[in-house]
Amino acid sequence: MFCSKKKSLEVERIVKANDREYNEKYQYTDNRIHTCKYNILTFLPINLFEQFQRVANVYFLFLLILQLIPEISSLTWFTTIVPLVLVVTMTAVKDATDDYFRHKSDNQVNNRQSEVLIDSKLQNEKWMNVKVGDIIKLENNQFVAADLLLLSSSEPHGLCYIETAELDGETNLKVRHALSVTSELGADISRLAKFDGIVVCEAPNNKLDKFTGVLSWKGSKHSLNNEKIILRGCVLRNTSWCFGMVIFAGPDTKLMQNSGKTKFKRTSIDRLMNTLVLWIFGFLICLGIILAIGNSIWENQVGDQFRTFLFWNEGEKNSVFSGFLTFWSYIIILNTVVPISLYVSVEVIRLGHSYFINWDRKMYYSGKATPAQARTTTLNEELGQIEYVFSDKTGTLTENIMTFKKCSINGRIYGEVHDVLGQKTDMTKKKEAVGFSVNPQADRTLQFFDHHLMESIKMGDPKVHEFLRVLALCHTVMSEENSAGELIYQVQSPDEGALVTAAKNLGFIFKSRTPETITIEELGTLVTYQLLAFLDFNNFRKRMSVIVRNPEGQIKLYSKGADTILFERLHPSNEDLLTLTSDHLSEFAGEGLRTLAIAYRDLDDKYFKEWHKMLEDANAAVDERDERIAGLYEEIERDLMLLGATAVEDKLQEGVIETVTSLSLANIKIWVLTGDKQETAINIGYACNMLTDDMHDVFIIAGNTAVEVREELRKAKENLFGQNRSFSNGHVVFEKKQPLELDSVVEETVTGDYALIINGHSLTVYDQWFITLFNIVYTSLPVLAMGIFDQDVNDQNSMDCPQLYKPGQLNLLFNKHKFFICVAHGIYTSLVLFFIPYGAFYNVAGEDGQHIADYQSFAVTMATSLVIVVSVQIALDTSYWTIINHVFVWGSIATYFSILFTMHSNGLFGIFPRQFPFVGNARHSLTQKCIWLVILLTTVASVMPVVAFRFLKVDLFPTLSDQIRQWQKAQKKARPLRRRKPQTRRSSSRRSGYAFAHQEGYGELITSGKNMRAKNPPPTSGLEKTLYNSTSWIENLCKKTTDTVSSFSQDKTVKL
């Protein structure tokens, strides 16, 4: 893709509506997006450039160049180019496949259809053809094509609702509203086509919550903010249609500005492998130098005696130059020490594991038909090495579905269930729920088991009525009726929805609102309140209030918010009620409920008018506007009269308690991020069993600066110093991704050590074709099969014993110590493979009386022994056999013999005599019994020490994984596994607080009247999920783990 002119950096953007010619002079990008990296022309050069940034690839390319120099090359060029081409090709295919799917996704998005106003009529246009300045029509449930300035909508005052889940993960609907001057355009195509406003705004940026600009139209200027903008990635909801003007398109949209370039991430195993490869390379250099020095010495002392026989001219080759050439020759010969194919094996294994993750039925969520998805194939093994989990609270640990459970009104708790003896009980199933059938507008999903509240309402308790009146009036909920006449609430936060719904079921029904009024139905009677002021919520106030005038002319301030905030603003006469209500709040919080305090204040008419005048002046101020408004809010929200408190339940999601417990047993540290206050955070910790009653040293860090936090941590460490803290061993299914890389390194190390030299100049032990095919044909598939399919412990036992996860965290399965053990094993095996055949062949005749100690027979014997030893070693390392493992392991041996006899055949020698000189050798050597006896002896001598070492280690120092494997084998022979009984959970006994979950700004929107709507389809309602009691489950799990481990240590005589 070429550009004729480089675009200059934008400082501000100027866009004119319905004028493509005007906007083209600024060279704004179109709406086409590109997330792909390559195209047909650039793929090969760019991909090769990326691949040869890897040290291993550059190294083998350098070797290839060296092999083209006859003076130093003792191996033909194909021994290097074949594996190098294979590695590069496989990686290129993988990269091309990934990029193909990116192209496919881009094309799918770019070819979406949108209605664009062109030549005074709406035309269907592909997204990629949309230009800056175009006016687009969106319909309900449609994705937004670009960043738009909202002009008009089907709702009054240009209101529209959007879902921003693709941008910020929030599923609650957000409100956007158009300028009044543009909302009048409506759906009139002729008027929209004549709209020629000019927008001057900020340059493209990635700030999702900020937008500044000015619209100039008809000689007037109108300020623009984020509330007027609909961003690409949003979905239009509950709005029939809307029109918008494109401000940012394609890569300039805020969504694409946030995407950025994907950073390449390396795993800890990658970093360790790179370190080990560098060590191997350093070892190779040192070995080459030592051998080169030896060659120089030999040439100087002995080599001169052979010059006459080799017809070398005097001075043609001195000892130093000979050593220099020999150094490079050894670098070429010993190149297999550097495991290039290891990288390919690791990539293929990661790809296979990513498919396993995608196909895992146990990670499939049927509720939304959502499977697990591995978005990257490069980080899979990190799942077996996790030490910390950071989690949000609301919507992650909890369902974010609020249910009204209890309340305290005037010192009395409503919502508790008592037995016949008057004792509080949680046995709600034996208690009949309060019937709301007399209320046709009641929400049937709400269950309330305390009939005393309904009795108090019917008896006309004024405090109870006032309490419910606050719930019905003090909120930002929007109401509407669906086609069936049912009342539907559009809520900005689930907390408000729960409280308004509870008031509705109890007879105080919020019906509708206008910018000046709120209408509710109080026990069958419609009552309209005049809305005088709306004191909105924000994160600092942690409360919200409304000031209304009732039909009797009284002015009331109704407030709700966090108890710690409202209690500070109560009138002194509330002291006794405050004490009682605080106790109730502690009880609610101990049950894991989220709490809010409810209060009110009677206002004098004269006082309110003076206060309201000051509020109007503050709103019109330019300097310190927010501070002045906040001060006025503080002034009027004082001397409140306490009514009581509410308690709503935000249930933990199904399986949270069990999951947190398993993670804790696996020695994974969990951090939960929440915007709630300290009490809530502590309670959530106890509810999730992150904190337990057995923990005596729970400490709180409350510092506000780095210095304060550091000091508090230091003190906490001093308090905990010296305590014995035991953590369980841990491992899950993903843990197997670590030993698989170790096994690959074993193979590569052994392979490198097998590249031994017969003499110091030009001859290798193995046939050159064997060197070429060993890693890519003879031994690659068994390693891949073990790495992808093997499991030391089955998935159920891994979940039952989370302590198995710990070796992965501590890198016990793949580390430098293990690597050096592998190196020692490789050296030992190399010596056995060389010296046993060498000793057996020394001065020995074959069965036919001919001498068999020739180089070709020796090479075939060693190569055959090597393939069999490696295959047997893989078989011993495999814990979980599948048909694929069998085919790959034994099939590799069969493949070796097939290729061996083919390459040693007369036919292939007749076609390529120089490339296949070992004609007839395989048939001659492998038909003699003594050769097979040597192969058997070599195999046994190579494998037996490993078998003996592992037997003694498992018997004398068994790991938890070893013990569970023995238990699995014993269970298979003894009896089938027992099924666990379903368990129930208990509630925590800790105090909870509540920080009002709401967004700032909706109060201003309500009083402006711009969110008053006509009709909307009903929203879908979520299903409540049942919860499991955790304590007995945890106790059983811990007991099961303890009993299992104990049984292992006690029962050493299990016959397997």
Q: Write out the catalytic residue numbers.
A: 392
Please list, in sequence order, all residues whose beta carbon lies within 8 angstroms of the beta carbon of residue 715, skipping any fewer than 6 positions away.
none
* Strand partners for 424: 418
Give me the residue label for tokens 């600024």: 26
For the record, the structure tokens of 941 come out as: 């001598």
The rounded distance, in Å, linking the Cα atoms of 339 and 343 is 8
Could you report how far apart the first and last alpha carbons of the chain are, in Å? 66
Buried (b) or exposed (e) across 380-419, using 16+ Cβ within 10 A?
A: bbbbbbbeeeebebbbebbbbbbbbbbbbbbbbbbbeeee
DSSP string, 269-318: HHHHHHHHHHHHHHHHHHHHHHHHHHHHHHHHHTGGGGHHHHTPPTTSS-
Exposure of 548 in the CB half-sphere (CA atoms within 13 A) = 27
Beta bridge partners of 509: 521
409 phi/psi in degrees, rounded to 5: -125, 120
Neighbouring residues of 770: CB distance < 8 A, sequence distance ≥ 6: 859, 863
Joined tokens for residue 730: 């841990």
Q: Specify which residues 235 forms β-bridges with.
A: 143, 163
Residues 174 and 160: beta-carbon distance below 8 Å:
no
Q: How far apart are CA 1030 and CA 391, in angstroms?
A: 20
* Gyration radius from the chain CA atoms: 39
Q: Determine the Cα–Cα distance for residues 583 and 417; give it in Å rounded to an integer.
A: 18
Q: Is 510 exposed, middle or buried (0-12, 13-18, 19+ CB in 10 A)?
A: buried
36 backbone dihedrals φ, ψ, rounded to 5°: -80, 160
Burial degree of 458 (CB within 10 A; 0-12, 13-18, 19+): exposed
Q: What is the dihedral of CA 958, 959, 961, 966, to 10 degrees?
A: 20
Instruction: Please compute, for residue 842, the number of CA atoms within 13 A of its CA located in the half-sphere on the CB side.
Output: 6
- Closest residue by Cα to residue 871 from 789, 774, 995, 793: 774
Q: Say if residue 302 is exposed, middle or buried (CB neighbours under 10 Å; 0-12, 13-18, 19+).
A: exposed
Cα separation, 921 vs 857, whole angstroms = 6
In contact, 457 and 468? CB cutoff 8 Å:
yes
Going from the C-alpha of 435 to that of each of 440, 451, 533, the distances in angstroms are: 11, 9, 36
The C-alpha atoms of residue 793 and residue 879 are separated, in whole angstroms, by 8
| Residues whose CB falls within 8 Å of the CB of residue 421, separated by 6 or more in sequence, listed in order | none
User: How far, in Å, CA of 552 to CA of 111, rounded?
Assistant: 61
Q: Are the C-beta atoms of 223 and 200 separated by less than 8 Å?
A: no
